[in-house]
C-alpha cells in the first residue's frame, strides 16, 4: 500500500481530516480560554458488531485528539426499544452533552427510524434527523450528515472542480447517496454539479457512470466499479467499506471499497483510496458538527 500513498493523483482523506482536526483543536483551545467547557460528544453502541465497535472507538479517540470530552454508553443487543429510547431521552435532556450519535446498525427488533427521530435535532451530530435532512434540502443551516458533507469538503480542500461537472452518484441511502446528491447539486461554489443518482433499478448503469466527470460510489459492493465504467480523467470517490476476509491481516479482514482500485486508478484523474479516503473525513465532520452543536452555530443555544 505504500506506493498508493505517494501517488500524486490520490485524494488523501487522512491528511485532509488531520488538517480539519488541527483546526478544531485550535477552536477548542479558544473556547476553553473564554471559560467555557470543552464540547462533549456521547455515543450509544448497542451489541458487539466488530465494524461498529471500531467506528465508535475511532470516534472516541478522535474526540480526545481535539480536546473534547466523550462518553461511550454500551448496551447489550437485547436492550428493548423502549429502554433505548429512554437513553436517548436522557442524553437529550443532559445539558452536559452537546451532541450524540446512536451507532447504526441497530438490532432488528429496534426501529432505527424511531430512534433517530427521538434525537433532539440540535444534538443530532450525525445529521440523520428528518429536521436536519429537511433543512439541508431547503438550504437552511443544519447539522449535515457527516459522510456526504465530508465528501464535499474533501473535494473542495483538494481543489477538485465541481461546478458544472456531471456527477454520477451510485447508491441512494439516506445516510450517503441521497444526501450527497443533494449537497452536490446545491448552488454553491463547492458544489454546482449536475447530478445523476443511480440505484439497483437503474437501467444501463455502466453507460451512465461512463458519462461522469465525478463518480461517487456508495453501494457496499466490493470492486463494483470497473475500468469499463469509467471515463478517462474522471474523479472517483469511493465511499464503500466492506469487510472481506484477509488471511494476511492480523485482524483477519481488510476493508474493500466499491471501486476496483487496481483497474480504475490508472484511468482516474483523482481517486480516493480505501482506507484513507472518505472514512477519515466522516469522523472529522462528526467532530465539526459537535463543535457547531456546542457553540450553537446552527441552532442558537437557549
Q: How far is the CB of 127 from ligand NAP (least distance, A)?
A: 12
178 to 207: interface string for ligand NAP, x by CB under 6 A: --------------------xxxxx--x--
Give the span between the Cα atoms of 280 and 253, in whole angstroms. Answer: 19
Helix (H) or strand (E) holding 156: helix 146-157
239 touching ligand NAP, by CB under 6 A: yes
Tell me, rounded to whole angstroms, the distance of Cα 281 from its chain centroid: 7
Q: How far is the CB of 239 from ligand NAP (least distance, A)?
A: 4
Is residue 59 among the annotated active site residues? yes
Cβ contact 251:260 at 8 Å: no
List the one residue from 127, 171, 179, 276 that touches ligand NAP (CB under 6 A).
Answer: 171
Give the span between the Cα atoms of 99 and 114, in whole angstroms. Answer: 18
Residue 168 CB coordination number (10 Å): 26
Could you tell me which stretch among 68-76, 91-99, 173-181, 184-192 binds ligand NAP (CB under 6 A)?
173-181
Grouping H, G, I as helix, E, B as strand and the rest as coil, residue 243 is strand
Query: Which residue in 12, 21, 87, 103 is the catalytic one?
Result: 103
| Binding-site residue set | 171-173, 241
Q: Which residue number is nearest to ligand NAP in terms of Cβ?
A: 173
- Total residues contacting ligand NAP by CB under 6 A comes to 25
CA-based nearest residue to 136, from 195, 196, 188: 188
Give the span between the Cα atoms of 85 and 94, in whole angstroms. Answer: 14
| Binding-site residue set for NADP(+) | 171-173, 241
Is residue 203 among the annotated active site residues? no
List the one residue from 170, 214, 268, 293 that touches ligand NAP (CB under 6 A).
Answer: 170
Cβ contact 47:77 at 8 Å: yes
Cβ contact 151:278 at 8 Å: yes
In the structure grid, which three cell numbers stand for residue 157, read together?
Answer: 480542500
Written as one string, the DSSP assignment of 220-242 is --TT-B-GGG--TT-EEEE---E
Residue ranges in 242-261 that form contacts with ligand NAP under rule CB under 6 A: 242
Q: How far is the CB of 217 from ligand NAP (least distance, A)?
A: 8
286 touching ligand NAP, by CB under 6 A: no
Query: Which residue in 21, 59, 123, 256 is the catalytic one?
Result: 59
- The residues pairing with 242 across neighbouring beta strands, listed in sequence order, are 256
221 touching ligand NAP, by CB under 6 A: yes
Residues recognised as catalytic = 59, 103, 126
Which residues in this chain contact ligand NAP in the complex, by CB under 6 A? 147, 170-173, 175-177, 198-202, 205, 218-221, 239-242, 278-279, 282
Amino acid at each position: 500500500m505504500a506506493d498508493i500513498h505517494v501517488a500524486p493523483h490520490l485524494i488523501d482523506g487522512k491528511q485532509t481530516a488531520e488538517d480539519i482536526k488541527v483546526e478544531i483543536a485550535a477552536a477548542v483551545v479558544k473556547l476553553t480560554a473564554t471559560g467555557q467547557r470543552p464540547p462533549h460528544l456521547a455515543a450509544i453502541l448497542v451489541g458487539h458488531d466488530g465494524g461498529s465497535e471500531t467506528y465508535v472507538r475511532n470516534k472516541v479517540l478522535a474526540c480526545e485528539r481535539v480536546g473534547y470530552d466523550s462518553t461511550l454508553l454500551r448496551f447489550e443487543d437485547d436492550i428493548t426499544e423502549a429502554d433505548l429510547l429512554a437513553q436517548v431521552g436522557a442524553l437529550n435532556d443532559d445539558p452536559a452533552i452537546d451532541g450524540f450519535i446512536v451507532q447504526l446498525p441497530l438490532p432488528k427488533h429496534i426501529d432505527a427510524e424511531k430512534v433517530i427521530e427521538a434525537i433532539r435535532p440540535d444534538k443530532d451530530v450525525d445529521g440523520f434527523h428528518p429536521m436536519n435532512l429537511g433543512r439541508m434540502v431547503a438550504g437552511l443551516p443544519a447539522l449535515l450528515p457527516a459522510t456526504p458533507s465530508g465528501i464535499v469538503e474533501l473535494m473542495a480542500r483538494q481543489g477538485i472542480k465541481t461546478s458544472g461537472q456531471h456527477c454520477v452518484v451510485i447508491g441512494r441511502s439516506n445516510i450517503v447517496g441521497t444526501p450527497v446528491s443533494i449537497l452536490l447539486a446545491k448552488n454553491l461554489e463547492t458544489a454546482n454539479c449536475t447530478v445523476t443518482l443511480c440505484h439497483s433499478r437503474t437501467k444501463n448503469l455502466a453507460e451512465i457512470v461512463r458519462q461522469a466527470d465525478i463518480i461517487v460510489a456508495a453501494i457496499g459492493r466490493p470492486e463494483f466499479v470497473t475500468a469499463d465504467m469509467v471515463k478517462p480523467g474522471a474523479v472517483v470517490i469511493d465511499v464503500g467499506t466492506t469487510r472481506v476476509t484477509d488471511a494476511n491481516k492480523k485482524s483477519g479482514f481488510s476493508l474493500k471499497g466499491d471501486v476496483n482500485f487496481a483497474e480504475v486508478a490508472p484511468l482516474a484523474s483523482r481517486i480516493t483510496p480505501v482506507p484513507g479516503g472518505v472514512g477519515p473525513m466522516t469522523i472529522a465532520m462528526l467532530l465539526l458538527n459537535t463543535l457547531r452543536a456546542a457553540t450553537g452555530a446552527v441552532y442558537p443555544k437557549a
